[in-house]
Structure 1
Amino acid sequence: MVMQMNVLEKIKSFQNDAPVNIEGLIRSFGVSLDKKAVLHPEIAGQIERVDGDRFHVAVNVNDHYYRQRFTMAHELGHYLMHRDLLGEGTDDNRAYRSIDAGKFHNTSILPQHETEANRFAANLLMPAHLVKRYFYELNGELERLSKIFQVSSEAMRHRLASLDLKPRAFAERVG
């Protein structure tokens, strides 16, 4: 789905430095947010329709904040790209797939939509221009990059691979 220019401009305005203020960005779209939601243990996050055309994002209180950030970005991706498919909402498990363990098992959200939301989240939280800048400043040190962007090492590793950048492991720096 193609996003409108004003949406892209708003997103870019939040990508001037790392970490991206995902909470502020979500709220700037009029979406409410709960970072302390008590969700089924298998559910990482959910987006729910409230009051007609307003939405609410909730992330599992038991998840690490870096995972919560990715989940928030993923759910924002659903809001911006798949709103017509959300119905009353959708729950996403730890692999970011809608399952029946939560409140909303949404069969309209297909694996391709989940992949799109994951790609959106990675691009949002780890914009290419910032990743490349910090990658070269930090000599590709994966753990430091993960901390600057407030994402998991796994998410950063995937993002670097998508940009054809090879991270340096801790052992390579010490040795």
Structure 2
Amino acid sequence: MPNGPKMSEANVYERIRPLLIKAPVPLEQIARSLGLAVEMSANLEQGISGEIACENGRYKISTASSEHPYRQRFTLAHELGHFALHRSLIGNGLDDNKMYRSDAHIGKYANSEIKLVHERQANAFAAKILMPRELLEAEIAKEKSTLGSSKAPLTKLYRTFQVSPSAMQWRLKNLGLSEQVDMDS
């Protein structure tokens, strides 16, 4: 029952783990496996990167057509984080602006229930599913071996995982893997 009782982050993560086996992770498939509808490249109001809305008990995530595809992927993962972690706070929906803030008073779903701490939690969840530790470590090892180098190129990593360079840099830093990557490449 995808839209039924609240699933914890651990439950959602365990449920989607079988889909986190290859980069880039299939985010739309993940969302649909949780019972969510997805609209990539939606015509959202200016300044809105993404939204999650609930109508008749069904959730739908939309990402802005004005955003780069890698940014859209992060936004989709971020909104999945809200679904997994903050469903009781979503109400009819919430919009996230370009800084991933829900109380921007723009868009259809300004939501003052979602605080900065919730946005940070959704970002952390997004990073965890977009760049799973095991896949990232394996890709770093593969690149180092292929190149015969002590470091993997950042460019190759963010393109493989289809995330922005800054998202990859943050994830590497948070996992303590930065020293294994050439951050200038």
Please indicate, yes or no, whether the TM-score normalized by the shorter chain is above 0.5.
Answer: yes
Amino acid at match of 2:58: R
**Corresponding residue for 2:116?**
111
Looking at structure 2, the residues matched to 5 and 106 of structure 1 have their Cα atoms a distance apart, in angstroms, of 25
Residue 90 of structure 2 corresponds to which residue in structure 1?
A: 86
- Within the alignment, does 1:3 sit opposite 2:8 as a pair? yes
Tell me the CA shift for residue 41 of structure 1: 2.1
- Superposed, 1:68-87 pairs within 5 Å as 68-87=72-91
Contact 2:7/2:84 (8 A) holds in 1? no
Percent identity over paired residues: 40
TM-score by length of 2: 0.87
1:150 and 2:174 matched: no
Q: CA RMSD in A?
A: 1.6
Equivalent position of 1:55 in the other structure: 59
Gaps of 5+ in 1: none
What one-letter code is carried by the residue in structure 1 that aligns with 2:182?
R
Q: Which amino acid aligns with 1:10?
A: R
Distance in structure 2 (CA, Å) of the matches to 1:103 and 1:164: 39
- With the length of structure 1 as denominator, give the TM-score of the two structures: 0.92
The corresponding residue for 1:160 is 172
**Paired residue total:** 170
Go from structure 1 to structure 2 and tell me whether the alpha carbon gap of 1:67 and 1:4 turns closer, same or farther (over 3 Å shift). closer
Q: Structure 2 stretches of 5 or more lacking a match?
A: 1-5, 144-150
Segments of 4+ in structure 1 off by > 4 A? none
